Amino acid sequence: MSQEAVEVLVGKIVTDDEIRARFFRSPEETCCLLGLQLTPVELEAIRHVSQTAVRQLAVNLDPRLIRAALGNKESMMAREMDQRFRSIGSRENAPSQAERQKARLVALES
């Protein structure tokens, strides 16, 4: 599962402006918010990812593959989940992946 988590994280930081910005501010918090469990070795390695290289890759991708930070419903939902996480203050009480997915679906339907 850990390699899958790395792949999901890399995909997110390349294709999602908000996740990319959040990741380069706080990699561990971003992984937790996304419900990704990386090993300590993977976390250490991912901290050394070049912000410039990721941005260059993102710029060169087809725009249809990029989620820009434009205040869309998913972006708003992500901010709400982040505020909820910060107010809870611990990983044990953080929203589960299922809760995040349900909230995302509700946000997209409304």
Low-confidence ranges of the chain (pLDDT < 70): 1, 68-110
What pLDDT is recorded for position 58? 85
What pLDDT is recorded for position 30? 94
Q: CB within 8 A of 21, min separation 6: which ones?
A: 69
What pLDDT is recorded for position 22? 94
Neighbouring-strand partners of residue 16: 67
Q: Which of 60, 35, 33, 30 is nearest to 47 (CA)?
A: 30
What pLDDT is recorded for position 1? 52
What pLDDT is recorded for position 103? 63
Coil, strand or helix at 54: helix
Using one digit for the tens of pLDDT, what is the confidence trace for 47-61? 999 999 998 888 887
CA separation, residue 94 to residues 23, 28, 54, 67, 72 (Å): 18, 14, 28, 24, 23
What pLDDT is recorded for position 21? 92
How buried is residue 52: exposed, middle or buried, by Cβ count under 10 Å (0-12/13-18/19+)?
A: exposed
Residue found by looking up tokens 């992500």 in the block: 78
What pLDDT is recorded for position 93? 57
Coil, strand or helix at 72: coil
Residue found by looking up tokens 């996740």 in the block: 19
What pLDDT is recorded for position 2? 83
